[in-house]
Structures are given as C-alpha cells and as structure tokens.
Amino acid sequence: MEGTGDKHIVSEVLREQKERLAGEAKVISENLSKLKADKSLTDEERKAQIDYNTEQYNKLIGAGSKWKEKSKEEEQRFK
C-alpha cells in the first residue's frame, strides 16, 4: 500500500505536467494569433508556420488527454 508521501509526489508531478501543458498551449495559441497578423511573411510561409503550430497544438491536446487519463488512474490508485 502506497503512503501519503507517494500520493503527494504523484499529485505534484501531475500538477507540474498540467501547468507545463497549459503554458505550452498558451504560447502556441499566441504564436498562431501573431502569425495571422504578420505581414512580413508570404502566404506560403504563413500557412506553413500556421500548419506547424496547429500540429504542435494538436499534439498538446493529445498529451492533455493522456494526462487526464493518468490523473484519473492515479486518483483511483490512492483511494
């Protein structure tokens, strides 16, 4: 049986992962907004950058879903 110390460590790691994912998603979202307004890029360059940032954002969404599942599993483990 895991002790409360283990529960605290797992909770802390999961919280840090959630904060990191949220921070990364915010940066990507801001980048997308800036790219749409950037007049120094050609349409082709802008599209490539937007596609790349969108792909990265979608990966973060997937990681967020996995984090949510892991969080639920850990919560059940310590009940």
* pLDDT tens for each residue of 42-79: 999 999 999 999 998 888 888 888 878 888 887 777 76
Q: For the chain, how many structural domains are there in total?
A: 1
Is there a domain that residue 6 lies in?
yes
**CB under 8 Å to 40, separation ≥6 — which residues?**
none
Give 75-78's long-range contacts (Cβ < 8 A, gap of 24+).
Answer: 77/2, 78/2, 78/6, 78/7, 78/10
Is there a domain that residue 16 lies in?
no
Task: Look up residue 70 and give its amino acid.
Answer: K
Is there a domain that residue 63 lies in?
yes
Is there a domain that residue 20 lies in?
no
Global pTM value: 0.62
Is there a domain that residue 64 lies in?
yes
Is there a domain that residue 23 lies in?
no
Is there a domain that residue 22 lies in?
no
- The parent domain of residue 50 ranges over 1-10+32-79
Is there a domain that residue 52 lies in?
yes
